Structure 1
């Protein structure tokens, strides 16, 4: 089964943002936008929901903090207590000021590293994955908006040319 999509190519990010707004107001469905760099405000112009990755980063930080607290309590209090600088070694709470830097570092470590894996899984960026970029110019200096084609093909091409597209192509996309 195949369906047709329009590839509208732009050479300016401000023109692209304006075109996205016009496209959404004309009730066309934007499949994807390929850009060579992040475009500020594009997610809001496309109507995308806010990301929940920050929540997972916070949860991963809590996991790191719990791991640090558990490992420090086991190593420094229960398993092998040592007299370092005359500090008491029979209570975690009394030694906690000395443990704060380690707890902070493990919180950041867990959050950062687990977020990288989460981002790769969420973006489906597996090792040796073939690139899905439909036009190689979008890695350099052009912006591509992929829109599902429903209705008259000539009207759609004219609409996207009027939005400032430098090139408009109709592609038969395999699903």
Structure 2
């Protein structure tokens, strides 16, 4: 198995999107695409599965809601009940309207903070990690498609030049 990859560099996002579609139609495996900004439709063109982060956000929010509801029940009803503004403190459901803002904020707090942690872990981003960007121009105005070489190298280079790439390089990984 070869350790070579082709870096096809484009200067237009529409040309890149067409090149990705042509590459997938030719049954070449796209390792990664580096872009300076999100390209609409690129994930579908690459055949990437949809993210499950929304499910995580929902579960984290439910966790925060349960924790804050139990915290309010313990602190305001069981541990130290007080008569605040004439409201009874005998049961949780009697004070529920006063607890809704606190439970909402707890839900948002848990969902937001745990989603950031999940995103960083899933993306393998942590402090002091070196950047994995193969070409610094992809942070400014160029787009790079990385495709593994599994066959005739010259044929792949000419294929990517025909897709509109302004530069095609074969890199040893």
Is TM more than 0.5 here? yes
Q: How many residues align?
A: 173
CA distance in 1, matches of 2:2, 2:114: 37
Residue 152 of structure 1: how far off its partner (Å): 1.1
Match of 2:107 in 1: 107
Unaligned runs of 5+ in 1: none
2:56 is equivalent to residue 47 of structure 1: no
Shift of 1:83: 0.7
Per-residue deviation at 1:66? 0.5
2-structure distance, mates of 1:7, 1:69 = 53
Secondary structure of the corresponding residue to residue 32 of structure 1 = strand
The two structures have a TM-score, normalised by structure 2, of: 0.98
Gaps of 5+ in 2: none
3-state SS, counterpart of residue 61 of structure 1: helix
Task: After TM superposition, give the deviation of residue 2 of structure 1 in Å.
Answer: 6.1
Q: How does 1:79-158 map to 2 (within 5 A)?
A: 79-158=79-158
Inter-partner Cα distance in structure 1 for 2:130 and 2:2: 20
Deviation beyond 4 Å, 4+ runs, structure 1: none
RMSD: 1.0
**Is this contact kept in 1: 2:76–2:89, CA < 8 A?**
yes
